[in-house]
Amino acid sequence: MAYLSTSGDLIQRTYRYLREASATPTKWPSAQVVDYLDEAQACLGAELNLFQARWSVDLAQASSLYALSADILAVRHVLYKASAGQIFYPLEQASLPDFWANGRDLLASGDAIYWAQVGTDTGAAGFNVQVWPAPQRAVTSGLLVIGTETPESIATSATPFPRPLRPLVPLKAAILAWEDLGADSELARYRPMLAERLKQWKVWNPDLSPDATESRTFGELGNYRPYPTVGGPGIVRQAPNPLGW
């Protein structure tokens, strides 16, 4: 299939996992399969932290709530520039209750320290970021948001996934379809297949998940001694590394 280079290739491969003929489907029409493929791309893109992108947001004085691009699939980092000409520095992620903890005042002004992903009073769609304190001055491109961008629909263009990863998309799409159907026997077969192939990808390539680690060192990036050493404890990970050790 030439590495699943077209949307038709992806649809056909998905139907193979669904045990249906793509020309005469009985359970899932092609439009529904396209929906599953788009959802699968978003799930895999977020899990593997693919399609990293950045968005600039202008700040307004005394305003702490900012709407972000609807293209954002997941927010990874929010950076802040206190004034024009200065560099960006990362904000610490928090939750809204944290803003009121320890005497913090949500309405206080100054240079931002924390950010939280929130909704809005008007129910606006998309991502919104609340910063604390509210900026004391207007700054051009004051927020720099780094995250994962939502992949384009396969109906719009061929999948943007790298060639070795494209076979994961129809496999994940089929799992979503079998989940909706409640087919436990099929899920018991396909879920381990996807988990094993994802594990292989994370071993072969740097793990780009936003936890300050990568799969080749199993320690914090920038640390000169990521491994346990004689006479010292080294790094003890609180969560399993990508190999599951």
What is the per-residue DSSP string for 124-163?
-SS-EEEEESEESS--TT-EEEEEEEPPPPTTTSS--S-G
Residues in the chain with pLDDT values less than 70: 1-2, 100-107, 120-126, 203-245
**Residue 14, pLDDT score:** 93
pLDDT in tens, 180-190: 989 999 999 99
**Residue 35, pLDDT score:** 94
**Residue 42, pLDDT score:** 92
Rounded alpha-carbon distances, angstroms, from residue 169 to 9, 16, 198, 211, 222: 11, 13, 11, 24, 33
**Residue 123, pLDDT score:** 57
Express the helix, strand and coil content of the chain in percent, nearest 5 each. Answer: 30, 20, 50
**Residue 73, pLDDT score:** 85
Q: How far apart are the first and last CA of the chain?
A: 35
Q: Per-domain residue ranges for the chain?
A: 7-50+151-204, 53-148
Cis previous bond, 210, omega within 30: no
Model pTM score? 0.71
**Residue 231, pLDDT score:** 46
Buried b (16+ CB within 10 A) or exposed e, 77-103: bbbbbbeeeeebeebeebeeeebeeee
Tokens in use for 198?
């994802």
